[in-house]
Amino acid sequence: MGVNPICTRVPACPLHDVSLSDVIGTGKPVVAMFATPELCQSQYCGPVLDELLDLMAPYRDKMAMVHVEIYQANKGPNVAKQAPTVAAWGLPSEPWLFAIDGNGVIKTRLDGAIAENEIKTALDQLAA
């Protein structure tokens, strides 16, 4: 969708192997993390993405996990332009974490300074 780089985390995270639009509503739960570690205005994007990565191992077979960058680019003319998925979801800030059930219904929505225990609770509820 024209986002380059697809991940501003260094090193890039492993949550870019599927497209969010391809996994929502397919019967498998989805965790969607909207964050931009390099360009984050709130300074929380990198830490909350890292918390999700630290927690993901026991859940990875039970749900799809996707990281969506906030901006189309990390330099050049599109640096301040929201990525198409972020614009479509109408997100006014960053970071956001959505826990979505297999039918495509959002079960949990977290934003801003998200604590590790909040992420774990969302993952546990989604996996149940």
Indicate the domain borders of the chain.
20-127
What's the Rg (C-alpha) of the chain?
14
Other beta carbons within 10 angstroms of residue 128's beta carbon come to: 7
pLDDT at 96: 98
pTM for the whole structure: 0.93
Least confident of 28-32, 77-81, 84-88, 100-104: 77-81
Tens digit of each residue's pLDDT (9 = 90 or more) over 83-121: 999 999 999 999 999 999 999 999 999 999 999 999 999
Residues with Cβ within 8 Å of 57's Cβ and at least 6 positions away in sequence, in order, are none
pLDDT at 74: 85
Domain 20-127 is classified in which CATH homologous superfamily? Glutaredoxin (3.40.30.10)
Q: Where are the alpha helices (DSSP H) in the chain?
A: 20-23, 45-55, 84-89, 116-127
Per-residue pLDDT, averaged over 44-53, amounts to 97
